[in-house]
Structure 1
Amino acid sequence: MHNHTPRISKSQYLRGLQCPKSLWYYRHRPDLAPETPPGRQALFDAGHEVGVLAQQYFKTGIEITEDYLATDKAICSTQKAVADGHIHIFEATAAAPDGAFSKIDILKKVGKSDAWDLVEVKMSTGVKDYHVDDMALQRHAFTGAGYNIRKSILMHINNQYVRSGDLDLLALFTLADCTEQVTSRLADVDGHVARLLDVIRQQKEPDVAPGDHCFSPFECDYTGHCWPTHPPRSVYDLFPTGPKLNALLARDITLISEIPDDFRMTNRQQVLVQACKTGQVQLDPAKIQKFLLSLKYPLYFLDYETINNAVPLFDRTRPYQQVPFQFSLHVQNEKNGPVNHVEFLSTEKTDPRPAFIEKLIAHCGTKGSVIVYNKAFEKRINDELGRDFPQFKPALNRISTRMVDLLVPFRSRHLYHPDMNGSASLKSVLPAFVPHMRYDTLEISDGGAAAQLYLSCLKDALPAEEQQKVFDNLRVYCGQDTLAEVKLLEVMYGLV
């Protein structure tokens, strides 16, 4: 291959299909690349874990270990592994004459023939549309390099698998034959590769306006660069896209405070606009009063934290199942009475659910409202616990039937503060109404970080003293969630 011919990898091909401008930035403007957020790094780590198990599924094989950038060496090592008679080659690499190159998770020999199957491993629980584009570029690269390719197979997680004892890799993975779908897209790959290589060769970035494609199938790394920045409380907060946004922009209206009173909006949108225009809290006293009258003392303010690992860690769990490992409970026996705090956090390396359930049932009493923020989540966890531990199902159901959702008055805009900025999440509502209680000052400030750090402890990926710090920070974070519910209820009582 001539040195002046650029190459395009599979990930760059998918990036370019989503947006040629994103591909151009990736190749020409490394200074714009954002730091890898912790959540993304956690995904990479989980993907690596699944990839290792996929190799074990095939039992024997040789891995091509060259660095990602050493493409020519990886191609040569792959050819040598083929010549040496290996039947499973992990991370095999090939390039087509047009510059498209790709790795494949498993290059699998078909019997005694000269044909090969391409097996691509994904953490998903099914075949997605962009996977087909992914595999089409792979097939194009390997066929172009002279390989006789039979099937294109997607190896994904089977979310119906329930762990019992050691991991059963044959049951954990599903092998989906995608040859037909992939072959139907092969005719387009030549044109796409040529067009994207032209993009890479350009000196100037392509002219692509931001839009819905910036978030599908993935949120682009460069949204912070491409998307216009808006002042606080702009019309984009109310209408991110669509005809209403366009109608306002056509009239040079960019701030919510400038929206005329006769502009057609839903009731919820009108509440938000009024709050922005007046700077005042908006409330519907009758609706708030009705909500407060529905509460029955004693009150139990409850919140759960969960992990959802791709590979089930415990018996009676499925891939990606939300497994609760912690709860916080504030209990108030009478209105304006003292509030007691109970908490549970499993610090063992075993299934946290049995102890979680027993402590939960013991401390939630048998009567009184159980207040949660986003009831659908806690109720679903209780339903799954009841399914997996049927002896506790009646008691868990009784707790669920007592649940009252504190999210509802805020989501329905029966109570709205201009500083909520259009969001009813606890992270937005709490600092708006209770300014001294914030999440951005906590060591752990969101559920995703809580789950990842807890998983690191479970897998002993952190030293013991670090694990202890994580446990302390988890207690603070989860405790703040239920104390937040207590404080927001106080705010509501104070307004009516």
Structure 2
Amino acid sequence: MSQRLLTKSRFKQALECPNKLFYTKKREYANRKLEDPFLEALAQGGFQVEELARLHYPDGILIEDNDWNYDLLARQTEELLQRENVVIFEAAFKFENLFIRTDILVKRGNDVQLIEVKAKSFDPADEHLLVGKKGGLVAGWKPYLFDVAFQRYVIQKCHPDWKIRSYLMLADKSKEAPVEGLNQLFRINKTAGNRTGITKKVNSLEEIGGSVLGTINIDTILDEIETGKHLCYEDLDLQQSIKVFSEHYETDKLFNSPVTYSTCKGCEFKATEEELAEGKKSGFRECWSSQHRWSESDFSRPSTFEVWDFRRGNSLLEKENKIFLEDLTDDDIGYKPEAGKLSRTERQWIQIEKAVTGDDSPVILKEELSEEMKSWKFPLNFIDFETSATALPFNKGRRPYEQIAFQFSHHTVDEAGNIKHESEYINFEPGKFPNFEFVRELKRSLSKNSGSIFRYAPHENSILNAIYQQLEESGEPDKKELQEFIKHITQSTKSNAETWCGERNMIDLFRVVKDYYYSPHMGGSNSIKAVLPAVLNSSSQLQQKYSRSLGDIGLTSKNFEQDHVWLQMEEGKVVNPYKMLPPLFADWNEEQIEETVSGLTGIADGGAALTAYGKLQYTDMPEEERLAIKQSLLKYCELDTLAMVMIWEYFFEVIG
């Protein structure tokens, strides 16, 4: 059996929860997160950032191939390190049962620079980017800082005489792209024959006139991590953590780290009932069975893990050993109602009571909802955007992670209840900056009437605010006209210097749902993908309607045939229409993509569309595959706005 080495990815996983070291990479355990570097880099543009970073060091030597032959990779590295001066990409170091590879290593005699490249952005003017005002590490940066600390530790063990300086190389938000199509200069091709599958169309920074990347020296922070000012895990410092993690991983021994609410809630090693029936194991179940003596039946008892936006889970578990909903009182959640709407804690208490009693009937504040709906003006307009934000900008003069709006869908409902898929827009042309054309098309579509406009969640408002600012800095001939349109249908965000609330400001259907409606079918989610099946399960009227074909019910569609049927039943319950859509990727289902990408990008929904757009932008592929992805994206976005229509239909039905 080959030696089990603690790599930097395993070390980072152990920092989340050391028990994961036992479950990871074992096929018998269910895993909700994909460990696919291609998907991760695709979502964030990480491949391109890495390749641009390498252009900063034209003499760099890449160690590639033989990815799992750790001893060979370490020997190849040591051979190159015999040189007095050398730059190595993917340098490999092995010390005892530890193994790391570095993004960029610059050696000048015994002076060494360790450079970790990340597809994250930073503002050089932010004094508290990595370390907060109170001296603690900023939570979002901790994994990256401990990662580099681990790398430096292993390198220093291999070469005690080296003086190592450590850096993060990131996308600098203060820098502008020096050329058009910067991110198109690094194309992903899985058959390219190199480690990342990148085909470069540029060979030096001089060719493109500069870079949008910058570096941050993190030596002081790493010194503080090594001396124990910033502890890695519980009361363990860096060296202690490395020692105990590597010993447990090498011997394949369960760490048996105490379960916690926050860590276990997001654990990826949970198995569904279907997976359990197929013989898959659940790491989550094993931890709770051994530590809290949970029986099989306990795993089906409603728990605080399922409650929406529950902020007291940690304290209730640690101080009172409360996790099951039947044990909670309204004092435990800080119950506080609000007049005229469902407060956060009121929603939570409704969910808890209904879960405990098995009552699956919805709660609707009919009078309050009715009053709100009276102010809505026909024809109603429902819109949804799909967007992206890339580390390397599309266009000259653009900065890292500027918002890209590449798609929208628009449904209308008139006063007679006629539903029409009014319009849609998509731009999947590589390298094209679509935002201004996007707004022109949106304006053209929404200007056909003066009815109320609906979005779901704040996303569309935020995106239009970002485009407003992009227009301000542009030379577009119609920019004032487009800006006025944006102000007319939005309200200003904090990021905008101006303050406004448009006469036709979009109505947030997400807020309407939160304020007036709760269904046990939603569980602990207010996502449109949870609300849609909830309203369909609650309405026999909608079930009868959408069990018929589009042609039969007179529903127009730009992407589905007239014989398409939206609603199917299984065992008396509605099949979520989102599960009936074609997969965006052959190898990954949408849940896997969302689970993986949300952790990478901090988004809750839309990861699948964002990743598909990335694939269209950066990947060389046959035209048929490009068109298939485009068609799938159009179907996803159309369902998003149709789902909003169905929610409105349900509300209209219940208020009579």
Identify whether the pair has TM-score above 0.5, normalized to the shorter chain: yes
Q: Which residue of 2 aligns with 1:396?
A: 486
The number of residue pairs the alignment matches comes to: 483
**Aligned partner of 2:81: which letter?**
V
Q: Which residue of 1 aligns with 2:522?
A: 420
> Is residue 343 of structure 1 aligned with residue 424 of structure 2?
yes
Greater RCO structure (CA 8 Å; 6+ sep): 2
Q: Distance in 2 between matches of 1:123 and 1:479?
A: 31
1:411 is matched with which residue: 493, 511, 514? Answer: 514
Judged with a 3 Å threshold, the aligned counterparts in structure 2 of structure 1 residues 130 and 212 are, in CA distance, closer, same or farther, namely farther
**Aligned partner of 1:318: which letter?**
R
Q: Distance in 2 between matches of 1:16 and 1:38?
A: 15
Q: Which residue of 2 aligns with 1:231?
A: 300
Q: Distance in 1 between matches of 2:620 and 2:2?
A: 44
Q: Which residue of 2 aligns with 1:179?
A: 219
Cα offsets for 1:162-205 (capped at 9, x unmatched): 33524468542121111111123335443333322332354642
Q: Which residue of 2 aligns with 1:107?
A: 105
Judged with a 3 Å threshold, the aligned counterparts in structure 2 of structure 1 residues 284 and 310 are, in CA distance, closer, same or farther, namely same
Q: Distance in 2 between matches of 1:337 and 1:51?
A: 51
Is the partner of 1:107 in helix, strand or coil? strand
Structure 1 residue 102, shift from structure 2 partner: 2.0
Judged with a 3 Å threshold, the aligned counterparts in structure 2 of structure 1 residues 163 and 334 are, in CA distance, closer, same or farther, namely farther
Cα offsets for 1:100-131 (capped at 9, x unmatched): 33221111134xx4311111112222552232
| 2:443 and 2:485 in contact (8 A); partners too | yes
**Aligned partner of 2:393: which letter?**
P
Structure 1 residue 49, shift from structure 2 partner: 2.6
Q: Which residue of 1 aligns with 2:156?
A: 143
> Is residue 328 of structure 1 aligned with residue 368 of structure 2?
no
| 1:344 and 1:356 in contact (8 A); partners too | yes
**Aligned partner of 2:82: which letter?**
A
What's the TM-score once normalised by structure 2's chain length? Answer: 0.67
Q: Which residue of 2 aligns with 1:211?
A: 260
| 1:297 and 1:335 in contact (8 A); partners too | no
Which has a greater percent of helix?
1
| 1:233 and 1:421 in contact (8 A); partners too | no
**Aligned partner of 1:37: which letter?**
L
Cα offsets for 1:414-450 (capped at 9, x unmatched): 1122211121110000111125261111125662112
**Aligned partner of 1:405: which letter?**
D
| 1:39 and 1:449 in contact (8 A); partners too | no
What's the TM-score once normalised by structure 1's chain length? Answer: 0.87
| 1:210 and 1:226 in contact (8 A); partners too | no
Question: For residues 397-476 of structure 1, what are the structure 2 equivalents within 5 Å?
Answer: 397-400=487-490, 401=502, 402=504, 403-412=506-515, 414-435=516-537, 436=567, 438-443=577-582, 444=584, 447-476=606-635
Q: Distance in 2 between matches of 1:355 and 1:114?
A: 54
Q: Distance in 1 between matches of 2:618 and 2:85?
A: 33
| 2:177 and 2:211 in contact (8 A); partners too | no
Cα offsets for 1:436-465 (capped at 9, x unmatched): 261111125662112212222233433111
Q: Which residue of 2 aligns with 1:42?
A: 39
Is the partner of 2:165 in helix, strand or coil? strand
Q: Distance in 2 between matches of 1:49 and 1:330?
A: 37
Q: Which residue of 2 aligns with 1:153?
A: 167
Is the partner of 2:399 in helix, strand or coil? coil
Give structure 2 stretches of 5+ with no counterpart. 123-129, 131-140, 183-207, 228-236, 272-281, 286-297, 336-344, 473-478, 491-501, 538-566, 568-575, 585-589, 591-604
| 2:260 and 2:314 in contact (8 A); partners too | no
1:241 is matched with which residue: 310, 313, 337? Answer: 313
Is the partner of 2:635 in helix, strand or coil? helix
1:267 is matched with which residue: 333, 346, 355? Answer: 346
| 1:63 and 1:89 in contact (8 A); partners too | yes
Q: Which residue of 1 aligns with 2:269?
A: 222
Q: Distance in 2 between matches of 1:136 and 1:354?
A: 43
Q: Distance in 1 between matches of 2:80 and 2:331?
A: 72
Q: Which residue of 1 aligns with 2:29?
A: 32
Q: Distance in 2 between matches of 1:215 and 1:234?
A: 12
Judged with a 3 Å threshold, the aligned counterparts in structure 2 of structure 1 residues 330 and 232 are, in CA distance, closer, same or farther, namely farther
| 2:261 and 2:317 in contact (8 A); partners too | no
Cα offsets for 1:360-395 (capped at 9, x unmatched): 111112632111111x21111111111112312111
| 2:49 and 2:119 in contact (8 A); partners too | yes
**Aligned partner of 2:466: which letter?**
E
Question: For residues 357-368 of structure 1, what are the structure 2 equivalents within 5 Å?
Answer: 357-365=439-447, 367-368=450-451
Judged with a 3 Å threshold, the aligned counterparts in structure 2 of structure 1 residues 203 and 359 are, in CA distance, closer, same or farther, namely closer
| 2:411 and 2:421 in contact (8 A); partners too | yes
Is the partner of 1:83 in helix, strand or coil? coil
Q: Which residue of 1 aligns with 2:196?
A: none
Q: Distance in 1 between matches of 2:35 and 2:647?
A: 30
| 1:236 and 1:245 in contact (8 A); partners too | no
Q: Distance in 2 between matches of 1:66 and 1:340?
A: 50
Moved more, 380-389 or 291-300: 291-300
Q: Which residue of 2 aligns with 1:117?
A: 113
| 1:312 and 1:320 in contact (8 A); partners too | yes
Q: Distance in 1 between matches of 2:101 and 2:352?
A: 52
Structure 1 residue 292, shift from structure 2 partner: 0.1
Judged with a 3 Å threshold, the aligned counterparts in structure 2 of structure 1 residues 221 and 488 are, in CA distance, closer, same or farther, namely closer
Structure 1 residue 404, shift from structure 2 partner: 0.5
| 1:274 and 1:282 in contact (8 A); partners too | no
| 1:280 and 1:418 in contact (8 A); partners too | yes
| 1:62 and 1:90 in contact (8 A); partners too | yes
Q: Distance in 2 between matches of 1:481 and 1:103?
A: 42
| 1:298 and 1:331 in contact (8 A); partners too | yes
Q: Distance in 2 between matches of 1:133 and 1:11?
A: 11
Q: What is the root-mean-square deviation of aligned Cα atoms in Å?
A: 3.1
> Is residue 192 of structure 1 aligned with residue 205 of structure 2?
no
**Aligned partner of 2:29: which letter?**
L
Judged with a 3 Å threshold, the aligned counterparts in structure 2 of structure 1 residues 461 and 77 are, in CA distance, closer, same or farther, namely same
Moved more, 227-236 or 42-51: 227-236
| 1:275 and 1:282 in contact (8 A); partners too | no
1:383 is matched with which residue: 448, 451, 465? Answer: 465
Judged with a 3 Å threshold, the aligned counterparts in structure 2 of structure 1 residues 317 and 442 are, in CA distance, closer, same or farther, namely farther
Q: Distance in 2 between matches of 1:297 and 1:322?
A: 31
Moved more, 33-42 or 201-210: 33-42
Q: Distance in 2 between matches of 1:215 and 1:462?
A: 39
> Is residue 131 of structure 1 aligned with residue 214 of structure 2?
no
Give structure 1 stretches of 5+ with no counterpart. none
